[in-house]
Structure 1
Amino acid sequence: MSQLFGEVAGAYHEARPGYPAEIVAAIRAYHGGTPDLLAEVGAGTGLATATLLGLGAPTVCVEPDPRMAAVLAARFPQVDVETAAFEEWTPPAGGVSALACAMAWHWLDPATRNRRAHDALRPDGTLAVFGHRYDYVDPAQRAAIRAAFESADPQRQADRPETWFRDDIAGSGLFTDVRASLYRRDLPLDTAAYLRLVATFSPQLRRPPALRERVLAALVATIDGFGGSVVLDLRTTLVLARRPA
């Protein structure tokens, strides 16, 4: 599953929304300045990397899928890209002063991710985990799009609670001063842009080709019925935590 997104590596960077610049300011303020060394795990094609580079810290990116890592390295030659699963990655001697993970915490081994993050950090180091949750500004659009998905594929996709990774990190007992912030913005998309986004989601990538096409056809009919556009309520949660000194 860690290499699921390599199939859409070329389109992923263009289809997925980036991250708010406020994340950089929040990490810097929490950390007390610019980290000496930042590691980003599950970096993908570098959507979060583009934002995290605003910290001005030397950065190493860890990505298990070689196709995603190749796109990442081409886009950001200034970062050190290591093609490895987080569970197999060896942090630099002495650890890193900050470790970030965007939209990938759920792909890491739940039995070990907190311990590995803790052990990769220097004492008093900063853990920053963040990700998007997609909703819709218009409740009528939300209901119609959900119905379109279910009409093509009745198998429901369970959503995690919005606070799940904060609860996961705090519940590990390995970190102190766990804080969560929420950033919201409206994201208007036309039909084609919305379909490109959906094509990068893991539930869609898991579907067989014929079922993927049925889902997309149902979405086209629904969004075209709205006049060819949809407005997402894009919610980005940032969780910050500290390895005890």
Structure 2
Amino acid sequence: MPTLPREHPEPPQPHQARQTAESFGTNARGYDQARPAYPDALVARIVAGSPGPDVLDVGTGTGIAARQFQAAGCAVLGVDPDARMADLAQARGMRVEVATFEAWEPAGRSFDTLISAQSWHWLDPAVGAVKAARVLRPNGRLAIFGHVFEPPVEVAEPFAAALRRVAPDSPFSDQPARRPLELYEAGYAKIADKIRETEQFDDPEQWRFDWEQSYTRDQWLDLLPTTGGLTRLRPDQLAEILGAVGGVIDAMGGRFTMHYTTLATTAVRAGTP
């Protein structure tokens, strides 16, 4: 399931693919209902390692992570370029400003923590860490995290085959059915390198959380259309792919267990104001 930046060198890079980056709001409610939350242990560790409660959530989307931090006692401000996603987050009690992070104006505000859940790869890598350093208070924490969405091979291979057949011109159709965890880890290592380049943070840390979630056929077919490879397909294309995957899950007994890994790159802003 394509969710992270492609490792191929050819353009466009994820932050340049604005139509895909801003396509998740086509079904904001479905996204909010189907996408999994983040491990409680991750949220608790970030909150415990932050100097205060003020959190900026970059790429907040519908506020899935933001609500978790709010429940942990934080005051969260979200930034997202998609007004449809922001509207839903606001309807659920979040404060959101509609803008790309690159263009967003902090207007003198600063934060104890800056988080970005499943969205940092859509930012210009030359801008993200530098701007994060600018809006974080001394000793504030930058935490970039996301899930590894790789279902079992029995589900992944029929999905990849259907995507290649139905949408051969999709930028995601040439990806392998399943990508190794090391590929995702390399992506988070590159994020750490960009943080180091700013010379504004202590040395970044890499965190990993492993967990499982059981999905019924319908639950998985609700989640699939919220992924970057499918958000821009025509209804008939989407229906064909979902039909192929649904048939496979039916043959597996109607459900399967997803083994998730959630990865994080995190760093503390240097303590000198």
Consecutive unaligned residues of structure 1, counting only runs of 5 or more, are none
Change (3 A) 1:218 1:144: closer
Matched residue, 1:42: 59
Matched residue, 2:112: 97
Cα deviation code 1:93-145 (max 9, x no counterpart): 25212100000001112221111112121222110111111223x55444454
Tell me, in whole angstroms, the C-alpha distance in 2 between the residues paired with 1:71 and 1:140.
34
Is 2:103 the partner of 1:84? no
Matched residue, 2:232: 206
Matches within 5 A, 1:99-138: 99-136=114-151, 138=152
Structure (1 or 2) with the greater strand fraction: 1
Tell me, in whole angstroms, the C-alpha distance in 2 between the residues paired with 1:119 and 1:75.
29
Q: TM-score, normalised by structure 2?
A: 0.80
Instruction: Output the amino acid matched with 2:127.
Output: T
Specify which of 30, 40, 46 is matched with residue 49 of structure 2.
30
Matched residue, 2:10: none
Instruction: Output the amino acid matched with 2:136.
Output: L
Tell me, in whole angstroms, the C-alpha distance in 2 between the residues paired with 1:3 and 1:139.
29
Matched residue, 1:166: 188
Matched residue, 1:60: 77
Q: What secondary structure does 1:221 align onto?
A: helix
How many pairs were matched up?
A: 240
Is 2:156 the partner of 1:156? no
**For structure 1, which segment, 91-100 or 149-158, has the greater mean C-alpha deviation from structure 2 after superposition?**
149-158
CA contact (8 A) 1:152 1:218 kept: no
Cα deviation code 1:62-92 (max 9, x no counterpart): 111111111000112xx42211111111124
The alignment yields a C-alpha RMSD, in angstroms, of 2.1
Deviation at 1:149, TM superposition (A): 4.2
Specify which of 175, 182, 207 is matched with residue 208 of structure 2.
182
Instruction: Output the amino acid matched with 2:193.
Output: G
Q: Percent identity?
A: 32
Deviation at 1:12, TM superposition (A): 0.9
**For structure 1, which segment, 40-49 or 168-177, has the greater mean C-alpha deviation from structure 2 after superposition?**
168-177
**For structure 1, which segment, 9-18 or 227-236, has the greater mean C-alpha deviation from structure 2 after superposition?**
227-236
Q: What secondary structure does 1:161 align onto?
A: helix
